Amino acid sequence: MPISFRVDPHRRLIRTTHVGAITLPELMTYVGQLVEQGLFSHAQLIDGRAATLQLTAEETREFAAQIASLRAVYGQAPVAFVAGNAASYHVAVDYADVGVGSKPFQVFADVAAAEVWIELSGGEASRGRKRANRRPTG
C-alpha cells in the first residue's frame, strides 16, 4: 500500500507514510479514509521520504480545492510534510501556494523538525500557512 497511517489518539495526531509513486487517486483514497474514520481534523505528520509525489500542476490545484472544501466542513489542523526528494518538495510547495489558505502547512526535510513544528503548532489553525523551511537534496 503506497499510503498507510496510524493514529495517536492522545495527541490527536495521524502519522502517515508514503512509499513509491503517489498519485492523485491514492491521495484522494487516503483523504476519504480520514473522513470516513472521523480523523480529518487531526494534525498530520506525513513522512514522504520513501516516495515521490507525482501530481501535475492541475492535479495539485484539484487536490488543494478538494482539501479546502473538506476543511470548511471538518475544520483545520496542522499538517507537516517531510519530502524525500526535490520533486515531492516542489509539489508540496505548489500545493501550499494554491490552496491551503489559513491552514498551517509546512514542508520539511527531516522528521525530527516536522515533529517539533507539529508539537509547537498545538493544533492552532489560526496561525496561517507556513512556507517550506528547507529544500531536500536529490
Q: Please give the chain's pLDDT, 138 residues, in tens.
A: 799 999 998 888 999 999 999 999 999 999 999 999 999 999 999 999 999 999 999 999 999 999 989 988 998 899 999 999 999 999 999 999 887 555 688 999 999 999 999 999 875 333 333 344 445 555
CA distances from 65 to 13, 40, 51 (A): 23, 15, 23
**Grid coordinates belonging to 91:** 509539489
Cell numbers for 51, please give them.
516516495
Domains of the chain: 3-127 (3.30.750)
